[in-house]
Amino acid sequence: MTVGNLKLGVDIISAHNLLPKDGQGSSNPFVELHFDGQRYRSTIKEKDLNPVWHESFYFNITDPTNLHTLTLDAHIYSNIKATQSKSFLGKVTINGNSFVPYSDSVTLHYPLEKRGIFSHVRGEIGLKVYITDNPSLKSSTPISITDENPSENRHTFHTLPKRNSNEEEQQQQQQNNHQAVEAPPHYNSTKYTANEMKVPEPMPPPKLVHMHSASSSQPVDFALKETSPFLGGGRIVGGKVVKTDRTTAGGTYDLVEKMHFLFVRVVKARELPAMDVTGSLDPYVEVKIGNYKGITKHIEKQQNPMWNVVFAFSRERMQASVLEVVVKDKDILKDDFVGFVRFDLNEVPMRVPPDSPLAPEWYRLEDKKGEKIRGELMLAVWIGTQADEAFPDAWHSDAASPLDSSSAASALIRSKVYQAPRLWYVRVNVVEAQDLIPLEKTRFPDAYVKAQIGNQVMRTKPVQSRNFNPLWNEDLFFVAAEPFEDHLVLTVEDRVAPGKDEVIGRVIIPLNMVEKRADDRVIHSRWFNLEKPVLVDVDQLKKEKFSSKLHLRVCLDGGYHVLDESTHYSSDLRPTAKQLWKPPIGVLELGILNAVGLHPMKTRDGKGTSDTYCVAKYGHKWIRTRTIVDNLFPKYNEQYTWEVFDPATVLTVGIFDNSQLSGEKGKDVKIGKVRIRISTLQTGRIYTHSYPLLVLHPTGVKKMGELHLALRFSCTSFANMLYTYSRPLLPKMHYVRPFTVVQLDMLRHQAVNIVATRLGRSEPPLRKEVVEYMSDVDSHLWSMRRSKANFFRMMSVFAGIFSAGKWIGDICTWRNPITTVLVHLLYLMLVSFPELILPTVFLYMFLIGVWNFRFRPRYPPHMNTKISQAEAVHPDELDEEFDTFPTSRNPDLVRMRYDRLRSVAGRIQTVVGDVATQGERVHSLLSWRDPRATAIFVTFCLVAAVVLYVTPFQVIAALAGVYAMRHPRFRYRLPSVPVNFFRRLPARTDSML
């Protein structure tokens, strides 16, 4: 860029959800921009609370070196034509540190800030701010100079008068007090209760996380952002609480923003009056405040009904000061009014745990004229927070649409904690059978054993024996969950003909009766009598005992950890047997704050919306937040805790769209997820980051919004945590009796299905697609994108070795003579004093580690689109990755992809073959495959042994090193003699077909 022509470009994109100021429920907004004594004004948008401008302005930058001390102010006003004045709608302030070149700029939506303590604002403004030296590259709106008259619908420019030092100090103080956050609206929100008023806290902009490697950098919009929210325990800056709220400090909910709710507990009623001549009454209660209402179930023919239901209304959304609790009688045509009770919200008490729950009271019902009538209603009304015991099971107004007249779907939107079942590996060792009686007595059976637990089926190999006592001695493995519901069913079958099998007998073993073991001790075998089913008629089956027996060893292996998730993102590594568990090393606390900028997942009332909830899993504990209905900027503010047993585990948080509301029966749609490895967290630090939700679609990588989380890992025993780094990653049985890769994949698939089935039986159910997405069930499937990503990961791992090899090559070829001479001296010194080699290496690594300490990452790692090869992937490769299994594409496309796969696999097999060839040549040195070559090498070994015996090692090493680093004048372009000799050695390629 040309320094003298630098401009600050500002694109005013749009504003959203502005306050009405014209007295008619709308506003006439326009924007004023202030920067370095310059001012611009946008056009006026008549009668629009969600205006769209798409206008560009450019400010002169007089001193680029002083740019970081300047600020850009954007004020939104509403034009009032009647009085020729303007009304303040909000402002944002952007520091000069966040100004970037145009190529790196993105549109950000800033929350509108207040101008003073008593001003009332809402909404956000979308701006794109950048530095450029060529404004002509973008189409800019022409700017005209005019007098200050807000009623004119045109752009204006003004030069502000000089201010004295006191005014400058006041203005700077005001900027500091109202510094805007480059983040979605909820990051700098301030809560107001009925009895308190707080000044907005100054919030520094979130720091953009930069990757250390330039090759792994990704767009700014996809990067992690650190925030400084004001949570229940105080304001978080740099991972620490710098200002504490004494009323909630140290409480249970100190990692989330404190939210206030109006709780209404409807307990019961008595002596309700009959509303018809029959004297029957089907009462229900309607709790209403403003545009929100919740309804209990109606109870048929009861004048003393019992409900015991809690309703929670968010203080943020309440637009009324009176609460009405109405009792109605359910009728066919129109429900009858029985009576109601009114509450003034200013008189409602505040309750803060650990105070005891508020005792419900009897309230006399009133008619529509306000006169007391017969009948009473027992209620409890109070104001509390999400720390209240009634919060999880309450009906929530922020999880329901306005004027919601039914609470039938309340079970589907409540927050819940799920406990995944404890999984066991079932080992079935089928030894032999005795006295099998096939249907055809003239032949020996071709027998095999089929074992089944639920939907899991395994078979032994068929054995053709010359008697009626076949021997198998095979191990079959299954996954079972406590409590055990399915039995182990073993069936001995005879393969009479291809595709025709006949049952010889079966045995049923309840898993509750199977022996459990936690180590590798021997399980005693048992003989089981086979029972042969005899068909009596079409509907009945009689069991007939006979002399055939089956020899088995069956046990529940509790010494393993049942893998039910991707091995790369395991959240638990403990064995199944609880007696093998170690004490926890710490506690993990998660605060799910909110999500912003979510993409609409459905259409309702002609507009795009989403009904979202979050799911987090760690160990056996799964949690689900309440569903926030019809909101693209949901605020959850729910906090959960897990015990941590191993730092090499991963917490997974996902966000989904609820598709089960309003009669919908589709699958819950995945929006995105976040993974956080516990070992990357510092103990005691609070991590408050906004995580971009990156999802790979058939059209490419897509940002679905951002999820704001707060994390804290607290260590209970530092010594135990350090000790875990010396222990094996998996339990002992995985190394004593390991499974094959094929067995692990099969068992993991079965484990995920069992967990999904059990969690799907909860209320509300955690659906199968959610469990599979959180467990990365499809991570093993083929993907060209993943293959390329893994290849480049491998190349980056070996990049250091390649760089060291290139450096050594430059030394040997005397590319830099001074460096080569210094390396000669260092090498000869280490050869002369070989005891210094290892200390020098370890000292060098120590210095590198200390040097890299200041570059250490200060944030949890997050998904990277460049490392994942998600940005440069070909559309056909994406279509192949999202194809079903088995494929659903046409044969020609499958043939093309198969040919491409053959080409890639051919190159891989060539590389593998070359590596194998070099290893086989090493083996052939002494194998006499080539008698002459082996004779030469054996003779060389004899001579070398004699020379090395009579020559000091330092002399040999010094000569070898100096020879390797000899000057290019003494080098030849042809390969050396040892290389030529090695390449002539034979390999097993001659034996390949």
Domains (range + CATH), the chain = 7-132 (2.60.40.150), 260-418 (2.60.40.150), 422-557 (2.60.40.150), 578-775 (2.60.40.150), 784-979 (no CATH)
| Residue 234 CB neighbours (<10 A) | 19
d(CA 717, CA 712): 15
Cβ neighbours of residue 986 closer than 8 Å, sequence gap 6 or more: 920, 921, 924, 929, 930, 933
Q: Residue 715 above 80 pLDDT?
A: yes
**Residue 592 β-bridge partners:** 638, 709
d(CA 8, CA 289): 48
pLDDT at 369: 86
More confident residue, 410 or 890: 890
pLDDT at 376: 92
d(CA 425, CA 575): 11
d(CA 698, CA 410): 34
- pLDDT confidence bin for 401, thresholds 50/70/90: low
Stretch among 296-300, 519-523, 526-530, 885-889 having the lowest mean pLDDT: 885-889
Which SS3 state, helix, strand or coil, does residue 486 take?
Answer: coil
pLDDT at 144: 35
pLDDT at 949: 83
**Which DSSP category does 25 fall into?**
S
β-sheet with 621-624: strand ranges across: 416-419, 621-624, 612-618, 650-657, 669-677
pLDDT at 860: 79
Q: Can you read off the two tokens belonging to residue 123?
A: 């909404």
pLDDT at 194: 34
Segment of 19-23, 873-877, 973-977 carrying the highest mean pLDDT: 19-23
Residue tagged 């002369």 (tokens): 832
| Residue 66 CB neighbours (<10 A) | 11
Q: Residue 208 above 50 pLDDT?
A: no
Q: Residue 43 above 90 pLDDT?
A: yes
Mean pLDDT of 186-202: 35
More confident residue, 165 or 304: 304
Instruction: Please provide residue 227's backbone torsions phi and psi, each rounded to the nearest 5 degrees.
Output: -120, 170
d(CA 824, CA 503): 80
Q: Would you tell me the crossing angle of helices 799-812 and 784-797 to the nearest 10 degrees?
A: 40
Q: Residue 162 above 60 pLDDT?
A: no
Mean pLDDT of 401-410: 50
Mean pLDDT of the chain: 81
d(CA 636, CA 642): 19
Q: Is the pTM of this model over 0.75?
A: no
pLDDT at 168: 41
What is each CA distance from 809 to 90, 552, 815, 982, in whole angstroms?
A: 64, 64, 9, 21
pLDDT at 107: 82
d(CA 684, CA 334): 59
Q: Residue 612 above 70 pLDDT?
A: yes
What share of the chain has pLDDT > 70, as a percent?
86
d(CA 502, CA 490): 14
- pLDDT confidence bin for 747, thresholds 50/70/90: very high
What is each CA distance from 681 to 366, 709, 856, 859, in whole angstroms?
A: 58, 14, 12, 8
Mind giving me the DSSP string for 146-178?
Answer: --S-TTS-S-EEEEPPP--HHHHHHHHHHHHHT
Q: Residue 237 above 60 pLDDT?
A: yes
Q: SS3 string of 693-727?
A: EEEEECCEEEEEEEEEEEEEEEECCHHHHHHHCCC
Q: Residue 200 above 60 pLDDT?
A: no
Q: Residue 207 above 60 pLDDT?
A: no
Q: What is the pLDDT of residues 618-646, one digit of tens each?
A: 999 999 998 988 889 999 999 999 999 99
Mind giving me the DSSP string for 401-422?
Answer: -TT----TTGGGTS-EEEEPPP
Closest CA to 590 of 465, 681, 484, 485: 681
- pLDDT confidence bin for 251, thresholds 50/70/90: low
